[in-house]
Every structure is written in C-alpha cells, then in structure tokens.
Amino acid sequence: MTPSDVKATLSFSDGSPQMDLPLYKGTIGPDVIDIRKLYAQTGKFTYDPGFLSTASCNSTITYIDGDKGELLYRGYPIEQLAVNCDYLETCYLLLYGELPNPSQKEEFVNRVTHHTMVNEQMQFFLRGFRRDAHPMAVMTGLVSALSAFYHDSTDINNPEHREIAAIRLIAKMPTLVAMAYKYTIGQPYVYPKNDLSYAGNFMHMMFATPCEEYKPNEVLVRAMDRIFTLHADHEQNASTSTVRLCGSSGTNPFAAIAAGVACLWGPAHGGANEAALNMLHDIQHQGGVAKIGEFIKQVKDKNSGVKLMGFGHRVYKNYDPRAKLMRETCHEVLNELGLQNDPLFKLAMELEKIALEDEYFVARKLYPNVDFYSGIVQRAIGIPVPLFTAIFALARTVGWIAQLNEMIGDPEYKIGRPRQLFVGATARNVKPIAQR
Ligand code: CMC
C-alpha cells in the first residue's frame, strides 16, 4: 500500500478533538482511508453493514471496475484470459501471480491431474446423504470432510500444507461434484481419467457410464472450461470474504473452503444461476415472451418480492463482462447442439432487451450478470439445474484458495472480528419466572 500525501480529517460537531486519518493509494481503484486507530483514539466504531464502503483487506489478485464493466485477474482482462488461456492456466495465474510458461503449465497440469481421485472412503460418507439432498448441501459436507481424509495438509500456517491442500482442492472438486450428481441419479461413480483435460474429465465423470464409451464433445468442453474461467475469482464477494474470515481463525483450509461453499449457495450469490433458470422456466410456462411485460411489472413492484434474477450486481453498474462472454458461449453451444431456437434462450434475450430499455433498470444501473446466461449454457450441456451452483463452487475454489493464501501471507492479517452498534436492552435484572 502506498501512503498518500493527502490525509483525511475527521471532525465532530460536539467539539471532540479532530483526527487525521492516513490515506492509501492502490495501483488502480479508489483510495482507502485507514481507520484502524479510530477506536483507540476516539472510542468510536464505523458503521457499514454489507461493507458498502469498506475495504476489508489489500489484495493483488482481482480488480473490478464496476462502472466500466472491467474484470482483471492479476492485471489480465477476463476477455483475453477467456479466449487465450484455459482454466488451469488461470488457476496458476491466480495462485502464483503470473501466467505459466509451457513447462510450468505442464508441471502444474500434471500435479493437478494426479490428485483427482478422492479417498475411497468418501463414497461411504456420501452414502449417508438422502438421494434427493441438494448438491450444495452435499458439497458443503464433502469439502469439509476432506479435512478428515488428508491429515497431512490441514495446517493453514504451513505453506507446504497450504500448497498441497490447494492442489488437492482444485483437483478433487470436479470429482466430488460428479460423485454428488451420480449419487443423486443412482448411477455408479466414474473415476477420473488422466488423459482428459480438466473440463473434459469433469464431463466424463458426469456423463459416462460403465456401459458404453463416452467421448466429451470439444465445443461443450470448451464451454465448460470457459464457465470455470469466468467464475474463478471475483475479489472480496460474500463467499470469498467468508473464506477469509473463517480462515482468519487458523482453521484448516478445507474447512475454510467449505464455509465458502455454504455462503455461495444463497440465491443472492452463487444460487442466482439456478434461480435465473427457474425464473425463465416460470415465465415460459406462463406464456413465454408475451408474458415478459407482466413479469417486469411484478419485478418493479417493491411489494411483490420478485427480482429479475441474473440482473444487478453490488459492484458492476455496467454490463458484467462475464455475461457478454457467457452470451457468446451460449450461442456456440446452442449452435453445436442444433438448439438455435431454444425457447429459453430466446426468452432470455428478449427479457434482457426489454429490461435494458426500461427506466427502472436504467436508473438503477441494473445489467445482466454472469448468471443470466450461464444457466442456459449448463442446461444445454446436460447439467441438471440444482447442480449449477455446485459447478460455480468448483470453479471458485481456486479464487478462495488464492485469497486465503494471500491473507495468511499478509503480515497485517489478524483474526476477523467486526464490531457492532448495540441497540438492544441495557443491563437489567432477571425476574423470577412467576413474575415475568
Ligand atoms: N431485480 C429487480 N430490482 C433489483 C435487482 C433485480 N435483480 N437488483 C437490484 N434491484 C434494485 C433494488 O430493489 C434497489 O432498488 P431501490 O433503490 O428502489 O430500493 C436497487 O436496485 C439497488 O439494489 P440493491 O439491492 O441495493 O443492490 P445490492 O448491491 O445490495 O444487491 C444483488 C446486489 C446482486 C444482491 C442484487 O442485484 C440482486 O439480488 N440481484 C439478483 C440476484 C443475482 O442475480 N445475483 C447474482 C450476482 S452475480 C453472481 C455472483 O457474483 O455471485
């Protein structure tokens, strides 16, 4: 962090002494005001529910300019990474700070590939779940259970443990997601195949059966890989902040990532892809394109509780660059599968067009986010709707790990311990039960 010559001065209207607060400049993005000494010097906290104006850490990993609609991983625009690199190169970049050269890539891919199997006991753990359990409930349990299977990588303060836990998590997430799916549909688990790419192997574990040969379609594999890349990291969002906070207590890496999985499940975050597709289905059932006007009316009615899922973002106040790439992938996948006239895709395009012209959405700067089109792509690939968020978790795992490692390596890191503005009852005496 570079200190600025400018200082912020905090003054109070009640005559309390004013306080100078240091300002820091990042390489890009807004400056931050350092309030760490505020409580010690003034006895006051700041109040910022939902972290609307609070930087919780400094980071070198991901940068978003929400007004421009720009997303950079380690400085590289997402548009360039999505076209020129595959997911494992992106993982390398997020973890180690630079894109790999050919030999670094070969070694990394080789390491990840040789950690894709999970301990055979995992399937007995999985068997404890109901077959109709939500995949995210299962994933939260499975990821957490990894800490019980890999005792040699549970010390978050040991860089070697963190490194091997990182490789294991990236390698095993596809296996776990595919196992969760196979368990739900009652098919045998398919073991990883080391001669396939990361995304190809995932599709093989998802869709192959022991009965016949399965060859993943290259266009669909590329689409899957792009979904992974677009979801790999997104700076200090809710699940990443959860992982950081959870890890800040010194808990093991698998437990911290499991906390991220749990947070991601919510419909305001990773669960939005599932919710967006369900929303499109609902509109379709009610009459499709002809019913968009009525649906938009409901969305604009604050009392309806209806939101346009896949629209809006805390940071993007412009088109989410991931949504543009996802829409492109959507075209490719639907063309490949001969589904150019897919009614949900047509409905989504029409809904987007109408919303982007509507004063309500324009005034609030609500644009499509990554989840608006990712559900259509995944559904076309054959991924069942409840598994969408689990795939987001698979892809985001690398971002969570990179952010966790960054935090542990930061000499300024402390256990996260927010404070509060207490507005409840002041001290009072307990009355005997007969008098209450
Ligand atoms: N549909 C209708 N109105 C909306 C929507 C929406 N999708 N999103 C925001 N608004 C309205 C909101 O009601 C508020 O209106 P007003 O100012 O009149 O009260 C205004 O826009 C500002 O919204 P906000 O709730 O203060 O914004 P936020 O930054 O707290 O919420 C959000 C961001 C993503 C939770 C929200 O836009 C949302 O719920 N979107 C739908 C869910 C979704 O698609 N989530 C995926 C996010 S991208 C994937 C990820 O990174 O996890």
What is the Cα–Cα distance from 163 to 136, expressed in whole angstroms?
25
DSSP 256: H
The arithmetic mean of pLDDT across residues 306-320, rounded, is: 91
pLDDT for position 57 = 95
- Say yes or no: CB of residue 364 within 6 Å of ligand 1: yes
157: pLDDT strictly greater than 90: no
Q: Counting atoms of ligand 1 from 1, which one is nearest the CA of 312?
A: 37
Q: Ligand 1 centroid vs 376 CA: distance in angstroms? A: 21
Let me know if 161 is a catalytic residue: no
Nearest CA to ligand 1 atom 41: 309
Q: Name the active-site residue from 86, 225, 320, 371.
A: 371
393: pLDDT strictly greater than 90: yes
pLDDT for position 345 = 87
357: pLDDT strictly greater than 90: yes
pLDDT for position 272 = 87
Per-residue pLDDT tens digits for 61-108: 999 999 999 999 999 999 999 999 999 999 999 999 999 999 999 999
C-alpha to C-alpha distances, 211 to 178, 187, 199, 207, nearest whole angstrom: 17, 11, 22, 11
- Say yes or no: CB of residue 307 within 6 Å of ligand 1: yes
3: pLDDT strictly greater than 90: no
Per-residue pLDDT tens digits for 268-299: 888 888 889 999 999 999 999 999 999 999 99
- Say yes or no: CB of residue 142 within 6 Å of ligand 1: no
Q: Name the active-site residue from 115, 134, 234, 313.
A: 313
In contact, 245 and 416? CB cutoff 8 Å: yes
156: pLDDT strictly greater than 90: no
Query: What percent of the chain has pLDDT above 70?
Result: 100
- Say yes or no: CB of residue 310 within 6 Å of ligand 1: yes
Mean pLDDT, the chain, integer:
94
Let me know if 371 is a catalytic residue: yes
Q: Classify 2 as helix, strand or coil.
A: strand
Q: Counting atoms of ligand 1 from 1, which one is nearest the CA of 392?
A: 52
What is the Cα–Cα distance from 21 to 32, expressed in whole angstroms?
10
- Going by pLDDT thresholds of 50, 70 and 90, the confidence category of residue 154 is confident
Per-residue pLDDT tens digits for 127-137: 999 999 999 99
- Say yes or no: CB of residue 366 within 6 Å of ligand 1: yes
Q: Which amino acid is at 429?
A: N
- Say yes or no: CB of residue 299 within 6 Å of ligand 1: yes
Per-residue pLDDT tens digits for 22-44: 999 999 999 999 999 999 999 99
pLDDT for position 342 = 87
For residue 33, the tally of other CB atoms under 10 A from its CB is: 19
Q: Please list, in sequence order, all residues whose beta carbon lies within 8 angstroms of the beta carbon of residue 271, skipping any fewer than 6 positions away.
A: 136, 264, 265, 389
Give the dihedral sign, CA 322/398/216/378: negative
Alpha helical stretches, state H, 156-271: 159-185, 198-207, 218-230, 238-247, 253-264
Nearest CA to ligand 1 atom 2: 307
What is the Cα–Cα distance from 192 to 171, expressed in whole angstroms?
10
Strand partners, 8: 21
